[in-house]
Chain A
């Protein structure tokens, strides 16, 4: 059962019923879900969680949705990989990668949308909507299809074909908006205010945001029920960054782990870095930016949780890196070449930031550090396509192969290499 009790304003603490509301009527602060933690404590144990499904719904007691209402397409419970090779390259001895590229629509957005879509259906909404540059659109379209509700998805008109297809395969009403980033944003904010639809990151945002906590739950469970020492997380709206820590805190609150002392560090692209810039200036007021970066899934110039991200950076003694586009490409390649994980541009931002912070001595080499890779690289192939070695092209003969292979210059063929295929005599 769900132990959610209310929505509460994070600023003035006024409480509201569990409806489709996202800002406080009095102070405009964001509202978030509150829970009966005593109820969770009595009902939930490490064992009960481990008996649950291999998806984020194993943590249903901590989510604002009844278990039987869940739209479950298998989001969550993704691998936590001990990244020995990447760790060696960066001088980090206890590095882990939380590989969220393997979600059903290949990004962590499946976590937030799973919760938002399920709650929206519980609240009686018949249409699910979002404005997105890719990942969110894909996930909303898929969950709407599985949940039997209609999806209306707004995307910028110049979105890459792969990202468009990644939504249209699920047959939503897909709307391409002609205009720049700001125009798309403004239009969709207006529509969200005037249509009685569940806009996943607007009017049902408090539920949507709760999905991100499950990353914190999983990491703690996969580390043997303990919070890591340090997390490096990409910052877009800032919600993911803030909610991962909330996941650790909630587990501690109900006695499933010790109180977390995790340092939370953020990662942004220089071309969209409102939080990183404010943090570097020592300010708690970020200035909105017009995004200009290849990391489009992080391109939120006016982040809803920007302020709370700055608070968290300060509270936990974290750092906030910002990296240039070429570093992002190098980060994607480094992760792929060391760990066999192909992340999207946001993953490149995270790995490049990890490298930046490690070089600056801001990560202790021995602390248990988790880097969050939030989306799969096949969504953003154009970001790296021009920076990869082209394949060898040969005729169908051994001579042609050897000639091309030797021409690489790096690794020659062993002298004893047979001229015929192995096993053929």
Chain B
């Protein structure tokens, strides 16, 4: 089991979808919203995902396929 922290950024088209709820139903991953800022146009959520590492990977790939941008919470690590 592992805990991964990520930042989801939602495009406008996904704002109304219960995406985090669905992620928790589709995959054996416990989701914990730690920080968030969502308005009618865009939104971000800092999420803790608790579960088997491979299952977390699958859940993130699924979220990404839905159009969510996923970043490490500390910003980009690739620097100039």
Contact = CB atoms under 8 A, between A and B. Distances in A.
Interface of A: 22-23, 27-28, 30, 109, 130-136, 154, 156, 181, 184-186, 188-189, 192-193, 199, 201-202, 205, 236-237, 285, 287-288, 296-306, 346, 375
B80 A185 contact: no
A132 B79 CA distance: 5
Given A28-B46, A288-B9, A236 B80 contact: yes
A346 B2 CA distance: 39
A156 B77 CA distance: 13
B42 interface: yes
A297 B75 contact: no
A199 B80 contact: no
A133 B76 CA distance: 12
A156 B76 CA distance: 14
Given A30-B74, A288-B69, A288-B71, A130 B79 contact: yes
Interface of B: 4-5, 7, 9, 34-35, 37, 42, 44, 46, 69-80
A181 B34 CA distance: 27
Contacts of B72: 185-186, 189
B74 A22 contact: yes
A406 B5 CA distance: 66
22 contacts: A27-B35, A28-B5, A28-B34, A109-B80, A132-B79, A154-B78, A185-B77, A186-B70, A186-B72, A199-B77, A202-B77, A236-B79, A236-B80, A237-B75, A285-B37, A287-B9, A288-B9, A288-B71, A296-B80, A303-B75, A304-B75, A346-B80
A133 B77 contact: no
A185 B78 contact: yes
B57 to A, nearest CB: 9
Contacts of A189: 72, 74, 77
Main SS class of interface, A? mixed
A133 B80 contact: yes
Contacts of A299: 80
B54 to A, nearest CB: 13
A192 B76 CA distance: 12
- Counting chain B CB atoms within 10 Å of each CB, which of A130, A154, A300 scores highest? A300
Contacts of B69: 288
B62 to A, nearest CB: 15
A203 to B, nearest CB: 9
A26 to B, nearest CB: 9
